[in-house]
Amino acid sequence: MPLTPSFGDKIAAKIVALYAAGEEQLYRFLAKSLQGERGTGANWAARMIIKVGPVRVGVQRILDRLHGESRVMVTEAIRQAWENGRNAALEDIPGERVPVFNVDGASARAAEELNQRLVETRPRAAESASNIYRQVIDEVTRDESITSEASRKRLVQRALDRFARDGITSFIDQRGRNYDLVSYTEMAVRAAVSEGEINAYMQQLVAAGIDLVVISDVPQSCALCEPFESKLVSITGATRAAIWVDPETGRTRSVPVFSTLAEARAAGLWHPGCRHVAKGWTPDSPFPPPADPPDPEGYKATQRLRALERRVRREKRVLAAAMSPEAETAARRRIRGVQAQIRDHIARTGVQRRRDREQLHRGYESTPDARALNAEKRTQQRKTVDELVEEIRSERGQ
């Protein structure tokens, strides 16, 4: 059977949820750090600036734990992706005895590449989080409307809310698009998982002497992928056309090859988030069915739903950064407001709601290993900057 996108989603979900939990922990830590000192004006700012160093250390520790925990998960996820791809191809190949493609070397290299890519986010994430702390202090200090500690707290919360909505940013892909930490991680992991599944599937087919695949037809496809739906693609580029024999009439029919695998990928097929799948095709397979007509309105409705899901996640980051019951109440009210828009949107358009896409943790916290992991994280989250200062001093023997 051909792989479906749900394979990759399930494999990547734990890693993405881990990073979402890490980002939430960063915002809780920043909120506690900004909440620590009393007063207003230059004296308050001076006391907060003194703690920039400990804040940076605290941020770095959170990120170090995050990347340490994710490394094994990434290696296992990529290997599983390559094994899934190979095994799916073996199920699609006719006959009982075929050469089996060994995924060990390729999956190990792919896992190391992804781990290195995620490690490279650490300095930028640390700088982004530390900058949020400094920028909040700077904005609040320059605001001349502050007349009391209560007004200062409101301004701190307002500034932190704005940064929380954007997430830990400064991650740019090859096309120059800016991502927050979790979105960048999700894009990188899902792309690596999808690439591993597809590469293993294709290499196993080639090892069995099959060079053609047919691309699936999915509803609400994007303009990049729509031209390839129900078309034959050559894995190696060596096959230009095929002859299909109708099993009922015995008549032959020429089947053109639309493109090579490399050309399809270069044109955008299997972009991040792509839902198309490939299935091995031989002259004994059914004739490729015609693709359904494009559904641009359905695609627009799906993209609108994705935008609303992102808004829910943004407001949940704001909830994580809340420093008072009033701020929590306001954040929860905004979350409910966006979710009401989602309900209205799906009622009008018929698109399917994905509640997991509205969660920061995407369901990962319900697993036993996550519960044990988060017990330690909750203890770490309770640490204030002052406690970190004392911890650092004790480590240095001061």
Per-residue pLDDT of the chain (398 residues; tens, 9 = 90+): 556 665 667 888 889 889 988 988 998 898 888 887 777 778 888 888 998 999 999 999 999 999 999 999 999 999 999 999 999 999 988 776 788 999 999 999 999 999 999 999 899 899 988 988 898 888 888 887 777 888 888 888 888 888 888 778 767 666 666 778 888 898 899 889 999 999 999 999 999 999 999 998 887 778 888 899 999 999 999 998 888 888 788 888 888 999 999 999 999 998 877 888 899 998 888 887 777 777 788 888 988 998 999 899 889 888 888 878 888 899 999 999 999 999 999 999 988 898 888 887 653 443 333 444 344 444 444 444 555 545 545 554 55
Is 77 found in the same domain as 113? yes
| Phi-psi sector, 250: left (phi>0), alpha (psi -120 to 50), beta | left
Neighbours of 109 (CB within 10 A): 11
Predicted confidence at residue 391, as pLDDT, reads 53
**Domain end: 182, 208, 234, which one?**
208
Is 199 found in the same domain as 325? no
CA distances from residue 206 to 140, 195, 237, 281, 327 in whole angstroms, order as listed = 62, 16, 11, 11, 58
Residue at 395 is within a domain: no
Is 197 found in the same domain as 131? yes
Is 188 found in the same domain as 52? yes
Domain membership of residue 333 as a residue range: 298-384
In the chain, where does DSSP find H-type helix? 5-35, 41-50, 52-92, 104-119, 121-142, 149-166, 181-207, 261-267, 296-320, 325-349, 368-381, 385-396
Is 244 found in the same domain as 100? no
Total residue count of the chain as it appears in this document: 398
Residue with tokens 């970190």: 388
Residue at 398 is within a domain: no
Predicted confidence at residue 174, as pLDDT, reads 67
Number of domains present in the structure of the chain = 3
Count the alpha carbons within 13 Å of 151 in the hemisphere toward its beta carbon: 9
**What element of type H or E holds 278?**
strand 278-281
Is 140 found in the same domain as 66? yes
Residue with tokens 């609108």: 304
CA distances from residue 167 to 13, 228, 257, 327 in whole angstroms, order as listed = 19, 35, 44, 18
Is 28 found in the same domain as 146? yes
Predicted confidence at residue 376, as pLDDT, reads 43
Predicted confidence at residue 81, as pLDDT, reads 94
